[in-house]
Amino acid sequence: MPGAGFKRKAEYWAKANEDMCEKPFLQVKDQLVSWSTIEFLRFMSDHDFSKAKGTATPSVATTLIESLPDKSDPRRAEEDTIARNIAAVAYVGMLF
């Protein structure tokens, strides 16, 4: 069917864009958390901290993650999305 190739490409690039925003941010989130705070954070976040290492280096992403409001704060979802997008732009900017 004509146009189907465009839809497949659009799905591919949508997934690539999502991965570019999510994967680096979650990797930093995993590295940022120390083992001593994992139990507490399981109650404060929907993220799985099972891979937490406490080894994140200072970066835009670490600063943004550390400044996120508590999960109970109504602004949390929007602030998290903004932080992910800013970190993604910084990550891509570093590549070029």
Residue-wise pLDDT for 28-70, tens only, equals 887 776 544 554 555 556 655 555 566 677 788 888 888 888 8
Residue-wise pLDDT for 6-36, tens only, equals 888 999 999 988 888 888 888 888 777 654 4
Longest dimension (CA), the chain: 56
Domain boundaries, the chain: 4-95
pLDDT at 12: 92
Alpha carbon distance 6, 80 (integer Å): 31
Query: pTM, whole model, 2 decimals?
Result: 0.63
